[in-house]
């Protein structure tokens, strides 16, 4: 069975991107490589692998993203969902908004991830339905989302801090592309409804949400890639690296 016929995509592009704001005031996903925005590149890759239902969760300067989407909207099914609270609510809240529109399985993306096309193709073929895509990483890197396992399953996802323990095995860095099955999406949304009652949780990114709450509810696998041709664009240096990767 062709998995792409039963999977939708959610792309999270609501954030402001403060660390690259000295270089661009536009949403990061509109940065261009070879004349094509990161957002349209993502959509092109998804269409190449047959994924037709795409949800874009926008927030910061959403009118610019809408304008960009209109360049290809007639060619595929794209729905734009607005996170009007993007200044105070993290990308986990954006993910919740996107997943509410999904009726089947999903692959979801941080909108600032740049990667070679076959990374996506390989991940779509991966046997695990609920998983985190991981690549080579540095467990001492404070900024990246670090994935740790126990009994070959994801046990912790640590971001914005270091984490030392012999209990878990360091797997690598979360690329920013993950999958969830439709049953697990329902659990995700139910858990969100509880977690977000505490206002202190509204600014969580999906990484920390998984670590603090979601991994206690379901079993998540990891899929590790060998390719180094990917980067999450947080800074201008990251963007320069992205342009070299996609040259």
45-88 pLDDT tens trace: 999 999 989 999 999 999 999 999 998 877 678 999 999 999 99
Average pLDDT of the residues in 206-224? 96
Alpha-carbon distances of 127 from 42, 62, 179, 223, rounded to whole Å:
22, 35, 11, 9
What's the whole-number average pLDDT of the chain? 94
Q: Would you say residue 233 has pLDDT above 50?
A: yes
Token pair 């600014």 is found at: 203
Q: Would you say residue 2 has pLDDT above 80?
A: no
Q: Are 45 and 37 in contact (CB under 8 A)?
A: no
Element (H or E) spanning 189, and its range?
A: helix 182-195
Digit-coded pLDDT (tens) for 90-118: 999 999 999 999 999 999 999 999 999 99
Question: Cα dihedral sign for 138, 175, 144, 129?
Answer: negative
Q: Are 203 and 88 in contact (CB under 8 A)?
A: yes
CA–CA distance, 41 with 111 (Å, rounded to integer): 10
pLDDT at 143: 87
* Number of CB atoms found within 10 A of residue 114's CB: 22
Instruction: Identify the CA nearest to 82 among candidates 103, 57, 110, 116.
Output: 57
Instruction: Identify the CA nearest to 17 among candidates 60, 55, 58.
Output: 60
pLDDT at 1: 40
Gyration radius of the chain over CA positions: 17
Angle in degrees, CA 170, 176, 180, rounded to 5: 95
* Number of CB atoms found within 10 A of residue 1's CB: 5
Phi/psi class of residue 34: alpha, beta or left (left: φ > 0; alpha: ψ in -120 to 50)?
A: left
């Amino acid at each position: 069975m062709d998995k792409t016929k039963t999977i939708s995509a959610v792309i999270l592009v609501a954030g402001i991107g403060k660390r690259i704001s000295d270089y661009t005031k536009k949403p990061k996903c509109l940065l261009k490589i070879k004349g094509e925005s990161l957002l349209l590149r993502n959509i092109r890759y998804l269409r190449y692998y047959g994924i037709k239902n795409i949800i874009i969760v926008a927030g910061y300067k959403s009118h610019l993203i809408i304008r960009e989407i209109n360049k290809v909207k007639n060619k595929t099914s794209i729905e734009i969902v607005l996170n009007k609270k993007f200044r105070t609510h993290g990308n986990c809240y954006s993910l919740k908004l996107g997943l509410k529109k999904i009726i089947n399985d999903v692959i979801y993306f941080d909108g600032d991830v740049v990667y070679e096309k076959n990374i996506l193709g390989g991940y779509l073929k991966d046997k695990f339905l609920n998983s985190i895509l991981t690549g080579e990483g540095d467990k001492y890197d404070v900024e990246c989302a670090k994935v740790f396992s126990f009994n070959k399953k994801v046990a912790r996802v640590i971001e914005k801090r270091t984490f030392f323990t012999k209990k878990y095995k360091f797997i690598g860095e979360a690329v920013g592309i993950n999958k969830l099955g439709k049953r697990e999406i329902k659990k995700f949304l139910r858990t969100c409804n509880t977690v977000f009652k505490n206002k202190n949780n509204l600014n969580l990114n999906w990484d920390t949400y998984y670590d603090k709450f979601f991994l206690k509810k379901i079993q998540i696998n990891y899929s590790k890639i060998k390719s180094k041709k990917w980067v999450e664009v947080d800074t201008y240096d990251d963007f320069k690296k992205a342009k070299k990767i996609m040259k």
